[in-house]
């Protein structure tokens, strides 16, 4: 009986070194993170956790970082990372991107090289929406436009084809020669309603341009963002082209020329 009890105690004591413990060498500021409600498929804004070296001398090695559940990610910060006397802190930017509609209550886990760890509680709630966005037309083509002037506007209509509110968050146009009418953001589009905006083309140089109108919504997943291609050209009626005369190399006189001939266009505005 004593041998069995001794063996049992030995097995417990032998297992103690294998167990990890909460570290006292580092701390986190803030000590926890709570994210605002975020729609499934969308990413929240990042929040920063600062890891502080609490020791007065020596090094603390952050071996790995991880999360105890899905739905969170790192946008900046690395591991392994060594905290020393001169480098007392490091930062991790964390974002929330729910994959299902539920409440998330997890830990951001900082594991040290000595086997100890620091858990930072993080939480957020994933939401679903019945809003849906439709954009018409799906592309815009502008007629030839004189350099330095602005075209007439072309209308783009955003329709909420879902059954709950749709929020337009951002409008991005590229290149800068494409612009839109002023829209106050964020703009809420009720179910079954629509919002219109005008797109203009103002070329600053003689070229053909292909751009894009990007629209993002609070309730629509990022991979379903809407992009409207835009195409514009300078006014061909204001340009005339002719070709410079060319001269054959002197050694080519009175004999057949097999080399390339380069024609250089010249344009007048």
- What 3 state SS string does the chain have? CHHHHHHHHHHHHHHHHHCCCECCCEEEECCCEECCCEECCCCCCCEEEEEEECCCCCCEEEEEEEECCCCEEEEECCCCEEECCCCCEEEEEEEECCCCCCEEEEEEEEEECCCCEEEEEEEEEEECCCCCEEEECCCEECCCECCCCCCCCEEEEEEECCCCCEEEEEEEEECCCEEECCCCCCEEECCCCEEEEEEEECCCCCCEEEEEEEEEECCCCHHHCEEEEEEEEECHHHCEEEECCCCCCHHHCCCCCCCCCCCCEEEEC
The answer, yes or no, to whether residue 257 has pLDDT greater than 60, is: no
> Mind listing the pLDDT tens digit for each residue in 65-88?
999 999 999 999 999 999 988 889
The answer, yes or no, to whether residue 226 has pLDDT greater than 90, is: no
Fold of 133-236: Immunoglobulin-like (2.60.40)
Gap between the Cα atoms of 67 and 118, Å rounded: 12
Give yes or no on whether 20-127 and 133-236 have one common fold: yes
- The mean pLDDT of 251-258, rounded to a whole number, is 37
> Which residues neighbour 253 within 8 Å (Cβ) at sequence distance 6 or greater?
none
What is the rounded (10 degree) CA torsion for 189, 190, 192, 197? -20
Q: Radius of gyration of the chain from Cα atoms? A: 32
pLDDT category of residue 222 using cuts at 50, 70 and 90: low
This prediction has a pTM of: 0.65
The answer, yes or no, to whether residue 254 has pLDDT greater than 70, is: no
Domain definitions of the chain by residue range: 20-127, 133-236
Pick the CATH number of 20-127 from 3.10.129.10, 2.60.40.10, 3.90.1650.10, 1.10.10.60: 2.60.40.10
> Mind listing the pLDDT tens digit for each residue in 95-121?
999 999 999 999 999 999 999 999 999
């Amino acid at each position: 009986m004593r041998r069995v009890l001794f063996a049992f105690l030995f097995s417990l004591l032998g297992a103690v070194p294998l167990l990890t413990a909460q570290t006292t060498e580092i701390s986190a500021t803030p000590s926890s993170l709570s994210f605002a409600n975020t729609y499934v498929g969308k990413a929240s804004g990042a929040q920063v956790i600062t890891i502080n070296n609490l020791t007065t001398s020596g090094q603390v090695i952050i071996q790995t970082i991880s999360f105890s559940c899905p739905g969170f990610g790192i946008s900046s910060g690395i591991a392994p990372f060594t905290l020393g006397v001169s480098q007392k802190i490091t930062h991790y930017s964390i974002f929330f991107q729910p994959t299902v509609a539920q409440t998330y209550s997890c830990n951001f886990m900082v594991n040290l090289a000595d086997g100890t760890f620091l858990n930072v509680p993080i939480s957020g709630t994933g939401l679903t929406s019945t809003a849906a966005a439709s954009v018409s037309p799906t592309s815009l083509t502008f007629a030839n436009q004189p350099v330095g002037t602005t075209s007439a506007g072309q209308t783009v209509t955003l329709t909420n084809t879902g059954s709950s509110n749709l929020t337009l968050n951002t409008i991005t146009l590229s290149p800068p020669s494409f612009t839109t009418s002023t829209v106050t953001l964020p703009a809420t589009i009720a179910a079954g309603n629509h919002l219109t905006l005008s797109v203009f083309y103002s070329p600053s140089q003689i070229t053909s341009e292909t751009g894009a109108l990007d629209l993002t919504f609070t309730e629509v997943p990022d991979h379903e963002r809407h992009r409207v291609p835009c195409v514009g050209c300078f006014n061909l009626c204001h340009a005339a082209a002719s070709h410079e005369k060319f001269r054959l190399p002197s050694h080519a006189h009175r004999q057949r020329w097999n080399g390339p001939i380069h024609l250089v266009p010249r344009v007048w505005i």
